[in-house]
A and B are shown apart, each in its own frame.
Chain A
Amino acid sequence: MKLTTLLASAAMVLGLASGAMAQDKTKIGFVYVGPVGDGGWTYEHDKGRQAVVAEFGDKVETTYVESVPEGPDAERVMTQMALNGADLIFATSFGYMDQTINVAKKFPNVKFEHATGYKTAPNVSVYSARFYEGRAVQGHIAGSMTKSNVVGYIGSYPIPEVIRGINSAYIHAKKVNPDVQFKIVWAYTWFDPAKEADAAKVLIEQGADVILQHTDSTAPQAAAKAAGNVITFGQASDMSEYAPSPRVSSIIDNWAPYYIARTKAVMDGTWETVNTWDGIAEGMVGIGEITDAVPAEVKAEALALKEAIASGEHHPFTGPLNKQDGSAWLAEGETADDGTLAGMNFYVEGIEGDIPQ
């Protein structure tokens, strides 16, 4: 046999082999609520997707659709992904809950992962991060650094996840600064730079010199920078382009390890329904670098608090704590259980204003 024919047939075999392998690719779809360039929530989910690609290379094929409204459109997008052969679909916003369950019923062989929801099924897992642990650290810094004693908070939607964050931040701010006061504005959006900027400006005009946000864009950071003398925290992503000030620290959502683990599980056939709620200890919630704009002792305390939460020594919701109406909630030393936290719909004592009802 001539060498050339040998090489040619070898190439053919290789070609066939890689062709066969291409069909074995694990297909993963991601549904995003905002644009991948939001610099916050969706940006971090997309970083998780990229980490999956980096980890598995040719063995996976990922697709995503961005800015999908939380409603019937999400159902269509997920159906379309499933029809196109997706093995695993990540639905990365709370409002995709019922749609995810509907589509999952129609495609029992496709695995679904729904972020921040609570409805599971044989092929639907839910996952979320204990952002409130990071909020505790933010609250500590906010309470220590505010001079006007007014902390502004941009809420997205009054759902338990957001209310948990407000409570956690308030409890820890109050601990270091009994005079602290929270002003809360509801933006009713996850991502709308114009609305978020307006909310930040309103809060600053009302005397807030610390802005916390539970919305996804960097617009509040820009508004704080323009105002000067106001500090902020990166939300969902590091937002380090606004460091060292106004952005003095951040909560970073790190989805990559979870996404890689779940992809691996689908590849190995070991995927099963789980309800994941990880925090600082597992690395799903990260605290972005605390900049020099924060006094050294406050920084040290904040880092110590972070360590205490990671080690389980400190639970952000530890009694004695009362609800806003003054009724007792947690006794001295008692910590909140996950069930109460998951459905939290009340403020703790001391926060002014009402949760929109």
Chain B
Amino acid sequence: MIVLEKRPQPSRNWSIATPLIAVLATMFFGGVLFAVLGKNPVEAIRTIFWDPLFGEFAFYYRPQLLVKGAPLVLIAIGLSLGFRAGIWNIGAEGQYIMGAIVGAGVGLAFYPMDSIIVFPLMILGGAVGGWAWAMIPALLKVRFGTNEILVSLMLVYVAEQMLASMSLGLLKNPQGFGFPGSRNLNEYASATSWINQDVGMHWGVVFAFIAVIFAYVLLNRHMLGFHIRLTGEAPRAARFAGVKPARLILFCLGTSGALAGLAGLFEVAGPAGQITIDFNVGYGFTAIIVAFLGRLHPLGILLAGGLMALTYIGGEIAQSQLGLPAAAIQVFQGMLLFFLLALDILTNYRIRLRKSEVA
């Protein structure tokens, strides 16, 4: 009989090994899925994981990995702080939208003024937009004890309506022939977040790396980081150590909101270029997977963000080259989270084989 035995402490080795095993398991079962669909599984896996990095057109795809991965990492870093402390911000998608709206709004307010001050103000606007949106669930939780999971998630849908309203009204391009959507910020030199489009560098990529470093220092070298970890691992001990839960909630939700807002701002001022009704494509939700895949550890998140970006870009190549349906790629990405969570049990439990005893 197989028995699960709780480990006295989560296994460190397994905690590092499970993401890798989950990736391998996803490759294997994904291959089986592709084979059932009548595609060569080896070729499909190679197209997804190898071609974007080392294939014929890698010169184009490698920079794209930065573009796709940066917002994921930036958002996931913010989320991981809260997740570690047991504060669940599920609404990063909404904060991402609000950051983009406020940031782009600041930029468009200055149009067509040419000044070095425009972009820094937009960055500030993006951070404030996301922060303010996250403060709603934070304050409600602190003041009335509401559930931040529900409130932050529901606010995503409110933000989507705001986005539609902005694309059709306040931020609509006055020279757009009545079509919804703002001016394209890529055509406004003072407001673009691109540094070098050919190598995929925009300020969002820079900020993503900075966020990783800051999160690492915070969690390992700073009292606040210690409190965050302590609250998640031992809430009772945290209270004895003098952690103020309200302050922690405001900090974690606020920081994750600000980072999600920044991600939105860099996206709208760079790769997306404009506020449109369909501006958000789910980075805020995918970042939750990235945060867990990266074990809520800053460096892990950096790697996980790259991996997710790889499956997106490789998945698109597989679609157009091999004719794999889009849904199969989504199933493939879903498998990744599934296996990760399923294998998590090995971190906290030990599997023992025991002979069944007669009661």
Which residues of A are at the interface with B, using a C-beta cutoff of 8 A?
A: 29, 35-36, 63-73, 75-77, 79-81, 83-84, 94-95, 98, 118, 157-160, 186, 188, 342-345, 355-357
Q: Are A98 and B319 in contact (CB under 8 A)?
A: no
Q: A35-B326, A71-B281, A158-B168 are in contact. Are A345 and B178 (CB under 8 A)?
A: yes
Assembled-state Cα–Cα distance A158/B178 (Å): 10
- Mark B299-320 against chain A: 1 for CB-CB distance below 8 A, else 0: 0000000000000010011011
Question: Whose C-beta in chain A lies nearest to the C-beta of B61?
Answer: A80
Q: A64-B320, A67-B326 are in contact. Are A72 and B276 (CB under 8 A)?
A: no
Which residues of B are at the interface with A, using a C-beta cutoff of 8 A?
A: 57, 60-61, 64, 67, 160, 164-165, 168-169, 172, 177-180, 184, 267, 271-274, 276-279, 281, 313, 316-317, 319-321, 323, 325-327
Please name 7 pairs of A and B residues whose Cβ atoms are closer than 8 Å in the assembled complex, sorted by A.
Answer: A65-B320, A71-B276, A76-B313, A81-B320, A159-B180, A343-B177, A357-B168
What are the 10 closest A-B residue pairs judged by CB atoms, nearest first?
Answer: A345-B178, A72-B271, A67-B326, A357-B169, A69-B281, A343-B178, A65-B319, A343-B177, A83-B57, A63-B320
Given A63-B323, A65-B320, A65-B326, 14 more pairs with CB closer than 8 A: A35-B327, A64-B320, A64-B323, A69-B278, A71-B278, A71-B281, A75-B271, A80-B60, A157-B277, A159-B178, A188-B164, A343-B178, A356-B165, A357-B165
Q: Are B67 and A72 in contact (CB under 8 A)?
A: yes
Q: Are A159 and B316 in contact (CB under 8 A)?
A: no
Question: Smallest distance from the beta carbon of A85 to chain B beta carbons, Å?
Answer: 11
Question: Smallest distance from the beta carbon of B280 to chain A beta carbons, Å?
Answer: 9
Question: Smallest distance from the beta carbon of A347 to chain B beta carbons, Å?
Answer: 13
Q: A35-B325, A35-B326, A66-B319 are in contact. Are A160 and B273 (CB under 8 A)?
A: no
Question: Whose C-beta in chain B lies nearest to the C-beta of A70?
Answer: B278
In-complex Cβ contact of B180 among A65, A69, A72, A158 (8 A)? A158
Contacts of A64 in B (CB 8 A): 319-320, 323
Assembled-state Cα–Cα distance A14/B245 (Å): 79
Contacts of B323 in A (CB 8 A): 63-64
Q: Are B321 and A84 in contact (CB under 8 A)?
A: yes
Assembled-state Cα–Cα distance A342/B177 (Å): 8
Contacts of B60 in A (CB 8 A): 79-80, 83
Q: Are B178 and A95 in contact (CB under 8 A)?
A: no
